[in-house]
Amino acid sequence: MPPLPLTAPPKPETYRVPFIYTHTQVKALLSATARCHSPGVELSADTLRMLLILLYATGTTVDELLSVRTSDLDLRRCEINLNATACRRGRVLPISAQLRDLLSEYLRSLRSSSRDVHLLRSSVGQALNRKSLCVRFRRLRNLADVGMGPHGQTPRLQDFRSTFAVHRIKYWIASGADLNVLLPALSAYMGYARLTKAEEFLAFTPERFRSELERLAIGRARPAWKTDEALMTFLTRL
């Protein structure tokens, strides 16, 4: 009997628990940028600090942020235009007035005559290399004394995205906001295809909010977020 042509079974999907930075750790990392120097990596402390602030304040991916150019900023309207990538659709992010002011100060420090260059670039004006950036971040992490997570996770740059979502949800719960309305908006803001994607971050909220989270359990009746006119207006602008 000839051998049967069998295909190898697909590898099971593995889920890496993200590292959620605390507010203290975020502040320690920002403070350590002034002391973080790495030979061979042409990256100023101001650019490294601005990178961390943008990752934490917008929840974008590292690749999305590295592709942002100065022409993508509309500081008058407090907006950042994110171009489409291979994995994520393009969208326009509204930002806070505080972040706008920090960006304005950072742009003044660049002293570039061109109006269309990479927002985050090396000291010699080149686009940042992600591999070199991760090398610098490992050094920064050690300087700030940010160690492994409770599940053995190594803190990474991309974990600022999950931290952004978890900290937003924690703030909303503490302030008594309606998560049934805000979670779809958070999913769209972060560029997820499914407007329920942000609900996965509820698993990383503190246990003291468990009673509030149980109200959002699957199977319970929820108000239809599509009927919220203000929310729909916000989603269509992204």
Q: Are the C-beta atoms of residues 38 and 135 closer than 8 Å to each other?
A: yes
* Dist CA 108 CA 91 (whole Å): 26
pLDDT digits (tens, 9 = 90+) for 132-168: 888 889 999 999 999 888 777 889 999 999 999 999 9
Mean pLDDT by 10 residues, the chain (238 residues): 76 74 94 80 85 94 90 92 72 92 90 75 81 88 88 88 93 86 90 83 71 55 64 66
pLDDT tens-digit profile of 106-120?
988 877 656 778 888
The secondary structure of residue 201, as a DSSP letter, is G
Domain 23-143: top CATH class: mainly alpha
State residue 212's pLDDT score: 57
Predicted local confidence at residue 118, as pLDDT? 87
Residue spans of the domains in the chain: they are 23-143, 159-237
Contact yes or no for 83/99 (Cβ under 8 A): no
- CA distance linking residue 218 with residue 216, whole number of Å: 6
**Any bridge partners for residue 80, and if so which?**
73, 93
What integer best gives the mean pLDDT of the chain?
A: 82
pLDDT of residue 153: 83
